[in-house]
Chains A and B, each alone.
Chain A
């Protein structure tokens, strides 16, 4: 996993509840990313952050929020405004411009 820890591995929530997914890294990498994966689809970018206290929307940010208060942590909150929250969520990190991006093992969120 290259020093990326996503937790929990599985998460169940009732519809209408907010839920926060954890992504922690111990490689001192600058950039962190959140992607969403749905069956039969590629990964889609939700949010990304290149420095502490700064983050940018990706392609599908609606219904999600993030924070980057510490370099090693980039939590993702799936809010009740997200229409179809059930998915596999993947966090990625990158050391700097032009370097490789590495993914965590993912969190599978099921909303019932």
Chain B
């Protein structure tokens, strides 16, 4: 079963706009929630991550908001740029050794 549900499947945003991607999880044992960015033909690269005892984490234009009671978390990309056009994956980590459960991914297209 899909333990991490990600939405939307794709989104188009204008340059300078805000991209918002949402994830919901089922497994309360997850101890860490990373977001990965993937460009076509490349491996995913870690973008930003959060632990469940923190409600928000910001790194540059990227912010994770985390709602433990609702079992939801989201990625906000502020001032979106064409170079941000990529597929974004949320994930939950099942234990400290890094077995990740991924969402299905969101393809983001930033138009000039």
Contacts and interface: CB of A to CB of B under 8 A. Distances in A.
A12 to B, nearest CB: 16
Contact of B42 (A58, A94, A97, A106): A106
B104 interface: yes
A41 B38 CA distance: 13
Contacts, number: 61
A85 interface: no
Nearest to B95: A97
Interface residues of A, number: 28
Interface string A75-112: 00000000000000010101001111111111010000
B45 A103 contact: yes
Contact of B100 (A45, A97, A98, A108): A45
Interface string A18-58: 00000000000001010100001111110010100000001
B17 interface: no
Nearest to A10: B41
Contacts of B105: 40-42
A105 to B, nearest CB: 5
Interface in B23-37: 34, 36
A42 B43 contact: no
Nearest to A108: B41
A106 B87 CA distance: 15
B13 interface: no
